Structure 1
Amino acid sequence: MNPTRFHWKGLEQVAAQVLSRAGVRGEDAQLVARSLVHADLRGVESHGLSRLPIYVQRIEAGLIELTQPPALVVRQGATALIDGKNQLGVVVGVAALDEAKQLARQHGIGLAGVRHSNHFGSCSYYAEQAVDEGLILLVLSNAPASMAPTGGIVPFFGTNPIAIGIPAGEQPPFLLDMATSVAARGKIALAAKKGSAIPEDWAIDADGLPTHDPTKALLGSLLPIGGAKGYGLAMFIDIVCGLLTGAAVGPGVKSLYDNWQDPQDIGHVFLCIDVQRFLPLDAFRQSMDAYIRQVKNVPTAPGVAEILIPGEIEQRIMTARKQDGIPFPQTVVEELAKLCSAYGIDLAQAVCTA
């Protein structure tokens, strides 16, 4: 089977069916499926359904807890701490987002810290939900060691992503979602699956030398954005997501792919702001629209067609893929077909027919 495009709703159904048959309860299976397809719709394939096989493998290995929901450890003022109970990361992330939103509605600002979680997908999945409700959201997470501190060659920090969502009106929302490394490790892993070369500024090999080979990069270290600035930002995220919440930090965060003995113990932070504590929401949306138009009206450099704001490219990709379908590399199609077959599910039901 070599289909070129899949329908996003069909993929959500297929992924939810796989997860359900792997033991994930229905509502949780749907959350995880939506999160993965969300990433593929935005063109962020490194965090999309290419992750479904490894999620299922860790479930099958007993490394993810499916029966206990995330638990509130303490709520005090505008802050809360949540124990993820080693649940699926998306389930934990949604619980923490809900808590942060509730606190923000009550206090104007809400901060939910998380410990004992797992890989929680694309940060934009949570930021987009907050934006849809007229809220500002900052999402942080630490991750398994894949990036050395500036000057080092042995990974210590994860790609430690950050996302910020800010609502607008007629203009697209501000939706920044980025790793603190030049490229997410998932992009390099996907390049290795495809047999594609990577840019030389993405990573170094085990000897500390720049490399185009994604396999050597995965054995070496990713490089931080902006050199020492990205390193400092990654360290900050590790501190607030790990040390502050009681989750693991640095190399203590276990690999999604290589550690088959221990839970990941990832930490997250969700900081939510209720815009209406500062301005009426409609007024803020209008101000954002005017501001974004100012940014986009800045004269462009030669050869540049237009200025885009963070998240705008991904929004356009999402619009196109909802209409035309989601393409996958053949290696990912084969992995998904194999996984679906193992659980008696036909991946072909998600293939675009038009």
Structure 2
Amino acid sequence: MTETVRISLDEVRTLAEAVLSRHGLSEPHVKAVADTIVAGERDECASHGIYRLLVCAHTIKAGKVSLDAEPVVQDIAPALVKVDAKGGYAQLAFNMGKPVLAEKARQCGIAAMAINRCIHFSALWPEVEELAGNGLVALAFTPSHAWVAPAGGKKPIFGTNPIAFGWPRPGPHPYVFDFATSAVARGEIELHRREGKSIPLGWGIDANGNPTTDATEALEGAMLTFGGHKGSALSTMIELIAGPLIGDMTSAESLAHDDGAKASPYGGELIIAIDPARFLGSLAAEHLARAEALLEGITSQGARLPSQRRYEARARTALGGVRVPRTLLEDIRALLD
């Protein structure tokens, strides 16, 4: 059984900021990236928590991310905004473009933001949750590296290609889902490899296209989409709308750009924001109440809404901190040497 250590969320933040600063990130990037890493631990999503500091450190050492990039926000149309991340992490670019996106959505009813030339290593839920928390419906999409085979294929061409959605609700928590179109996030397979655990069938195939339960074989072969052809079709959509549509890379192009460095993906992200008040006018309250009836109809029969487990975890970790594998914590602390 893996030995774990309990640490507080304040300690998670201190460690994240120390590691990122030690590796040369400018202060604005340190805060933005650390916010995302803390959110992963806070919500008990280990594959998106401090484990990602190992990923960040490797990407920085490989010279694949700009340490002090200053994103440029470009207002290109009434309902469109672009942010050139200039090779930096996506978090700061999102933070800078978000107010412009929100304002355009409120003016036009719907608006889109393209983040170009960014490094993406994390979940999308912090972004859509933030927009939904401000009363907007939000969707986000991004390709990654070509790690995932299409349904019926044997060779990687897709990224894990997440899609995230946020819906505003009364109370503190919006309805949010965020999932990879691969069967599982790549970080989950990497954590299984680190701990010497087998993976379930259906997560990946080996280099010869054979089903495997060996995490290393899956990482060296190809991951699989969820739901067969359905996940494959969604993954293709994300490649197109968050790649060529916004003038950025596909997952295969991102992997080629990586040139064997095994750093985080480089490319773009598409975020769409919709203002229900603008769409619905004086009828907004009535129709949002109908949405609540739908969601309550799900939970009233004992079914769980996406993100519900994360919100429950959030309440626990705020008081009791999080448990981290001791070996992982040692590896992260070694990044400060």
TM-score by shorter chain over 0.5? yes
In structure 1, the residue matched to 2:294 is 291
Q: Secondary structure at the match of 1:244?
A: helix
In structure 1, the residue matched to 2:168 is 167
Change (3 A) 1:252 1:155: same
13-22 or 239-248: which moved more? 13-22
- Whether the 8 Å contact between 2:110 and 2:274 is mirrored in structure 1 is yes
Written as runs of structure 1 = structure 2, the 5 A alignment for 1:299-338 is 306-338=302-334
Work out the CA distance in 2 between the residues paired with 1:207 and 1:243. 30
Work out the CA distance in 2 between the residues paired with 1:45 and 1:242. 28
- Whether the 8 Å contact between 2:89 and 2:120 is mirrored in structure 1 is yes
User: What is the CA-CA distance between 1:289 and the residue it aligns to?
Assistant: 3.1
Change (3 A) 1:256 1:92: farther
Q: Secondary structure at the match of 2:176?
A: strand
**1:48 partner letter:** G
In structure 1, the residue matched to 2:76 is 75
User: What is the CA-CA distance between 1:120 and the residue it aligns to?
Assistant: 4.4
Q: Secondary structure at the match of 2:126?
A: helix
Work out the CA distance in 1 between the residues paired with 2:228 and 2:332. 36
Work out the CA distance in 2 between the residues paired with 1:68 and 1:95. 12
Residues 320-354 of structure 1: per-residue CA shift (max 9 Å, x gap): 122211111223112112113x2xxxxxxxxxxxx
Confirm whether residue 44 of structure 1 aligns to residue 45 of structure 2.
yes
- Whether the 8 Å contact between 2:87 and 2:117 is mirrored in structure 1 is yes
Change (3 A) 1:332 1:226: same
Where does structure 2 lack aligned partners over 5 or more consecutive residues? none
User: What is the CA-CA distance between 1:283 and the residue it aligns to?
Assistant: 5.3
User: What is the CA-CA distance between 1:267 and the residue it aligns to?
Assistant: 1.2
Work out the CA distance in 2 between the residues paired with 1:135 and 1:19. 32
Q: Secondary structure at the match of 2:34?
A: helix
**2:139 partner letter:** L
- Whether the 8 Å contact between 2:141 and 2:164 is mirrored in structure 1 is yes
- Whether the 8 Å contact between 2:28 and 2:92 is mirrored in structure 1 is no
Where does structure 1 lack aligned partners over 5 or more consecutive residues? 299-305, 343-354
User: What is the CA-CA distance between 1:110 and the residue it aligns to?
Assistant: 1.3
User: What is the CA-CA distance between 1:85 and the residue it aligns to?
Assistant: 0.6
In structure 2, the residue matched to 1:347 is none
Work out the CA distance in 2 between the residues paired with 1:24 and 1:245. 27
272-281 or 142-151: which moved more? 272-281
**1:201 partner letter:** G
In structure 1, the residue matched to 2:143 is 142
**1:183 partner letter:** V
Confirm whether residue 197 of structure 1 aligns to residue 198 of structure 2.
yes
Q: Secondary structure at the match of 2:155?
A: coil
**1:323 partner letter:** L
Work out the CA distance in 2 between the residues paired with 1:239 and 1:94. 24
User: What is the CA-CA distance between 1:237 and the residue it aligns to?
Assistant: 0.3
- Whether the 8 Å contact between 1:114 and 1:247 is mirrored in structure 2 is no
> How does the TM-score come out when normalised to structure 2?
0.91
User: What is the CA-CA distance between 1:158 and the residue it aligns to?
Assistant: 0.2
Work out the CA distance in 2 between the residues paired with 1:182 and 1:210. 13
User: What is the CA-CA distance between 1:285 and the residue it aligns to?
Assistant: 5.4
- Whether the 8 Å contact between 2:141 and 2:242 is mirrored in structure 1 is yes
User: What is the CA-CA distance between 1:234 and the residue it aligns to?
Assistant: 0.4
- Whether the 8 Å contact between 1:180 and 1:230 is mirrored in structure 2 is yes
Equivalent residues, number:
333
Written as runs of structure 1 = structure 2, the 5 A alignment for 1:203-352 is 203-254=204-255, 259-260=260-261, 264-277=265-278, 278-279=280-281, 286-298=289-301, 306-340=302-336, 342=337
- Whether the 8 Å contact between 2:212 and 2:218 is mirrored in structure 1 is yes
Change (3 A) 1:22 1:102: farther
% identity of equivalent residues? 29
Work out the CA distance in 2 between the residues paired with 1:62 and 1:36. 21
Change (3 A) 1:131 1:73: closer
- Whether the 8 Å contact between 1:115 and 1:242 is mirrored in structure 2 is no
User: What is the CA-CA distance between 1:261 and the residue it aligns to?
Assistant: 9.1
> How does the TM-score come out when normalised to structure 1?
0.87
- Whether the 8 Å contact between 1:39 and 1:125 is mirrored in structure 2 is no
Q: Secondary structure at the match of 1:97?
A: helix
271-280 or 136-145: which moved more? 271-280
In structure 2, the residue matched to 1:303 is none
In structure 2, the residue matched to 1:111 is 112
